[in-house]
Copies of this chain bind each other. A is one copy, B any other.
């Protein structure tokens, strides 16, 4: 199993979520994060003075999937989260050794 961590633009969350549901992924966990990267923060102007807001609000999507679904999942996220503009975000794939569903005690792919 793999954990796919995707950092995406917040307003793309709904679309990505729906796309993942469509390919059969039922669970995911979302965190509000701040991104620093090539996309530069915007400038806020308060009383005419400029303030650099370095960080950019992003959401992080954690999805644990069986190996078989990794490619499909990544493709779905990529397709929906892409705007082609800087700051679209990243997808990281990390190994997961075990999964357990607390409610039932199931483990492995059955627990995802």
Tell whether, in the assembled complex, residue B94 and residue A96 are in contact, meaning their CB atoms are under 8 Å apart: yes
**Measuring CB to CB, which residues of chain A are less than 8 angstroms from any residue of chain B?**
2-3, 5-8, 17, 26-38, 54-55, 58, 60, 62, 64, 74, 77-78, 81-103, 105, 111-112
Tell whether, in the assembled complex, residue B100 and residue A3 are in contact, meaning their CB atoms are under 8 Å apart: no
Q: Enumerate chain B residues within 8 angstroms of A101, measured Cβ to Cβ.
A: 88, 90
Tell whether, in the assembled complex, residue B27 and residue A37 are in contact, meaning their CB atoms are under 8 Å apart: yes
- State the CA gap A81–B104 with chains docked (Å): 11
11 A–B contacts, CB within 8 A, in A order: A6-B102, A7-B29, A17-B36, A27-B37, A30-B36, A74-B100, A77-B102, A78-B105, A91-B98, A93-B97, A94-B94
